[in-house]
A and B are shown apart, each in its own frame.
Chain A
Amino acid sequence: MPPRMTASVLKVVAALLAARADERYGLQLMQATGLPSGTLYPILVRLERAGWVESRWEEADPAAEGRPARRYYLLTAEGAASARREVTHMTRSLLGEAPA
């Protein structure tokens, strides 16, 4: 089931679209969207459940990094297409244009 598109969800997918080729971790997405952690993570879980986003654990040595491994998020091909469509639709709605 596609996720319900709210302003916060749009911010997250727009941030992930902006770095389509790059993986983003939670703090990066918080900085990019301005959303607090309590808002961001439920959205990421919903997007992952909908198949728009996939995640993987960082391949780094925790002892060397001085912290546990991070989790990275990336838009799936389906998620990127859907996200682009939703962002375009929302932009057109805001500009008062008829949907394509």
Chain B
Amino acid sequence: MSPTWRLSRWLLTVAAGRWPADISADLLREWQAELAVLRDSRFKMLMYAGSLVVAPTVDGPSWAQRTTTAATAAGATLLAAALSNAVHATAPLLLVPAGFLMALAARRARMSPTTAVSVMAPTLFTFLFLGNPVSVMPFMGLRDVAPAAIAWLLTMLLALRAPRPFIPVAAALSLLTATTAGALHAAHALNVSPWSAPLWFPLSLLPPSPHLPPLFLGNATAMTTPLLLSTIFVLSLSRPAPSAPVATPAFRTNPAGTPTFPTTPVATPTFRTNPAGTPAAFRTNPAGTPTFRTNPARTNPAGTTLATARTTLATARTVLTAARTVLTAALATARTTLATARTTHSPAARLIINLARSFSHRVRIHTTAITGAPGSPRRQATLGAAAAILAVVTCELTTLATADTTAMAHRILNHSAVFGFGFATHPAGQAAVALLAATLTLRLTEPAPE
């Protein structure tokens, strides 16, 4: 069997895995039969299998929906980058609300975490690599950014496959790995011991440390903050329900090296008149009663670890519930205080409150008159256009901010530099950023599905 044949068969298996579980096994068998006919032409085999791998499935997203998803993920990455700049330019503590904003954006985005990681990693690479002139960021070259982006991509994909309670821990390890991979070159050049690698990620999020060179930490920070915010976005996406694995028909190879095929399909030459979703049959034993299997995880060490994790999770849930109770009580107290202020305070205070409410009401009326009702196409278009214009203006301001490289080098050292967005100096880059900003705004302001 040639490598092309094996590759094509693997592609078919991948393609079938994307289809609904009730039809994927039959489709795979059918495609493998057609592929066998094309065995003499490597090109045709690859075209046949390749087309099935990339094409939308029957119930999956269309090309248009895929484009929107990719634009949203890329836009979220740029949002993470812009927020990183804002945090560095103001106060490190703003990282907390920036994280909340990314989580909020993720709640409105409809995509799988795996898709998000797959799109965000190359966008992060573009942002970090093309957006940083070498003269300003000496350790933002290909040797720095590529390992960080690749390490983040691979480790995040692995982290997302972990059991749900362990995903945040696995994502934190992913950030550690990505930071280490991205800073190794700088560490070597600046004589920083690689043994201190586990500290690079936490120290890059804190104010300048005397333990590591400022330039080293400046570079690490420029990489880790967008990575951290992107990770928060990915973890905040709602995860799709797991689908059943595809049953791959067994192909055997005889000693002569030619493939042999199972004969089972031939024995069932029945026309299927209602394939529209017949429920899968429950399997019963000969006596007619369903059988149950015990979970082996409960009787081995892995089961004990799982039980410990469950206990930890239960404790964390209790703490969170208590925190929510305290917060609810605080909110109720604040509401009561406000209501009391409205009724008992001086006429001047009441006048200010009423004026503020009247102003807010008028603003809402005028905004609705200009942009249309919330969720209407006119409102959506206006907000999208406004976001695009704002994005272009931001690009221009960023360009101005990075013009003075001497001042920039100083600001990198004290963690206040605006980095990245170098591609935004080009009209095509600005157009791309504006398009992404508009798409992201449209997605965020879209009415929630009923």
Contacts and interface: CB of A to CB of B under 8 A. Distances in A.
B292 to A, nearest CB: 33
Contact of B268 (A27, A37, A57, A62): A57
B260 A69 contact: no
B268 A68 contact: no
Nearest to B57: A42
Given A36-B51, A59-B266, A49 B276 contact: yes
Given A26-B30, A27-B37, A42 B56 contact: yes
B48 A68 contact: no
Nearest to B27: A41
Contacts of A37: 31, 34, 47-49, 51-52, 55
A57 B37 contact: no
B262 A68 contact: yes
B23 interface: yes
A62 B52 contact: no
Contacts of B49: 37
A45 interface: yes
Interface string A66-100: 11111100001000000000000000000000000
Interface residues on B, range: 35 or more
Interface string B36-51: 1110000000011101
Contacts of A25: 34
A18 B260 CA distance: 34
Interface in B198-245: none
Interface in A26-58: 26-27, 36-39, 41-42, 45-46, 48-49, 51, 54-58
A67 B269 contact: no
Contacts of A66: 36, 258
Given A45-B23, A71-B26, A56 B275 contact: no
Nearest to B56: A42
Contacts of B32: 68
Query: Which A-B residue pairs are the 3 nearest by beta carbons?
Result: A38-B55, A67-B36, A62-B261
Given A38-B55, A45-B23, A48-B275, 10 more contacts: A27-B38, A36-B47, A37-B31, A37-B47, A38-B53, A42-B57, A55-B271, A67-B36, A69-B261, A69-B266
Interface of B: 23, 26-27, 29-34, 36-38, 47-49, 51-58, 249, 258, 260-263, 265-266, 268-277
